[in-house]
């Protein structure tokens, strides 16, 4: 399977990232709505947004068009941006993110802790969730520094009424540590590796039947 890191930088450099990003959003929204129509649990779908895509003048119009065409409830869509992206042009980021929130979508600050932004921007940016980068989660049960960072981010986000996602969770010990400290959502191979849509449907149906 081709990893995003293998082709996203090339797409960014050639501007192919804009139509590619639109296709990804459309496909994700369409698939999420199809699962709902099939009676599967209403799950939020999350899509990563590239810097060039985020700065595109027609980005918000594209989102509105896709949501209208797919008929997906905007509240079921989370768009993920990195803190580095937001810091490139804070004024633009604020304007776009506020309009995204007004449209009903969730905004996730991805890879939190890996950029160089001031923590004051976490309060400034109208985000709904913070995602802790996997580099801090990997050794959270063995490294005191990583444990301190993860605990501090969770506590800080909770004080700002933001939900917290931890990515890269691969062990039950990591899961137990994060749950104990109040992390809201978990992402990682402990639960599942990436899978095609048809397999995901069976996976969701199976979980729905699990007591």
| b/e burial code for range 72-89 (CB count within 10 A of at least 16 → b) | bbbebbbbbbbbebbeee
Instruction: For domain 1-106, give the CATH number.
Output: 3.20.20.450
Average pLDDT of the residues in 139-164: 95
Axis crossing angle, helix 17-37 with helix 197-209, rounded to the nearest 10: 40
Tell me the pTM. Answer: 0.88
How many whole angstroms from its chain centre is CA 92? 20
Domains of the chain: which residue ranges? 1-106, 128-190
pLDDT digits (tens, 9 = 90+) for 10-69: 666 667 888 999 999 999 999 999 999 998 888 899 999 998 999 999 999 999 999 999
């Amino acid at each position: 399977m081709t990893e995003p890191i293998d082709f996203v930088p090339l797409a960014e450099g050639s501007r192919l990232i804009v139509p590619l990003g639109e296709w990804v959003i459309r496909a994700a929204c369409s698939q999420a709505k199809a699962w709902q129509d099939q009676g599967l649990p209403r799950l939020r779908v999350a899509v990563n947004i590239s810097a060039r895509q985020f700065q595109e003048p027609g980005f918000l119009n594209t989102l509105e068009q896709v949501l209208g065409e797919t008929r997906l409830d905007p509240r079921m869509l989370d768009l993920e941006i990195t803190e580095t992206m937001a810091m490139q042009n804070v004024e633009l980021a604020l304007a776009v993110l506020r309009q995204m929130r007004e449209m009903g979508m969730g905004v996730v600050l991805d890879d939190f802790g890996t950029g160089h932004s001031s923590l004051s921007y976490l309060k400034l940016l109208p985000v709904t969730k913070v995602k802790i980068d996997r580099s801090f989660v990997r050794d959270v049960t063995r490294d005191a520094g990583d444990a301190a960072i993860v605990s501090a981010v969770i506590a800080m986000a909770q004080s700002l009424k933001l939900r917290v996602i931890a990515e890269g969770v691969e062990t039950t010990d990591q899961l137990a540590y994060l749950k104990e400290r109040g992390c809201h959502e978990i992402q990682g191979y402990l639960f599942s590796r990436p899978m095609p849509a048809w397999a995901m449907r069976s996976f969701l149906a199976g979980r729905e039947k699990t007591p």
